[in-house]
Structure 1
Amino acid sequence: MKKFIAMAALAATLPLAALADDDGDDDAPQFGLAGLLSAKNKHDLEPIQLSAGMPLTQAPWVLKSGSYYEFEIQGDGSQELGLVGPEFFRAIWIDEIVVEGLEIRPLGLDSIEFDEAGEMEIGFIAIKPGSYYLKIPGSTGDSQRLEITIE
């Protein structure tokens, strides 16, 4: 029993020793106190434009699992438009949605809709690798669909 307690105490100190050891490995993640939410791990994505007959973005998104991303959705009010992408929203962890200075921290999301002109910002961590999309419901054109890959 004493050996077990000694081994457990030694094992508990190993992670602390590994954190304190600076071996100069530049490839190792260098997260600050906030970890995944640190500024070093944050990336801004191209905004999504919700406008009648216009493409959502210029290029598909390629994301890295474990990275924090922010993007804006800008609706011009030309038409009542929304975005749907339940598979994508289940493959990410949403930190917050900001609408006119109001911060919303949802447990999940299925779709959003703009009834009039406005803007929102979504911050999230990409989690589950795979191929996903966001699209305008009922649309069939490629420009009305944003392809997303999480690596």
Structure 2
Amino acid sequence: MTSHRPFGLPVAAALLLAVAGCSSTGPTVSVPVPRPPAAEAAFCRALHEELPRSLSGFDRNDAEPESDLTAAWGDGAIVLRCGVPRPEKMTDPQADAVEVNGVNWMLEVRDSGAPRFTSTYRKAYIEVTLDERFMHDSGPLIGLAEPVLETVPESL
């Protein structure tokens, strides 16, 4: 994987703009629950306990079905799934990646133009899907970095 920094604004400035500009509590978000092996699930449960109550100005909502492997903020603006399978795209040496506060993420741009990030070099893969409001803003990854670093060890 190559390391690209595709975001023009400094991540910290983008986060401040996002926090100042939006807050939402919305309906419950439906999120497919991953089925990782037991060891990965244990890391994900630990991560779930450390996730922030708000992220980039959005309050955390319970995802449906309720699971320690998923979390959502706002009306689905930010969705996290822990223990997802390794994405095929990770084998592509041209895949875009970004490092945010010590956590490496592979970037995929969905058909809508909105980003999906998957952690790399961790003992459990963590997928963070952002909606169109974050097309050029990786700010939510700042708020997730510390919990990821504390709970999901690096893999070699």
Band the TM-score falls in, shorter-chain normalisation: under 0.3
Q: Give the number of the structure whose residues are more often strand, by fraction.
A: 1
Structure with bigger RCO (C-alpha 8 Å, 6+ apart)? 2
Q: Give the number of the structure whose residues are more often helix, by fraction.
A: 2
**TM-score, scaled relative to structure 1:** 0.24
Greater radius of gyration (CA): 1
**TM-score, scaled relative to structure 2:** 0.23
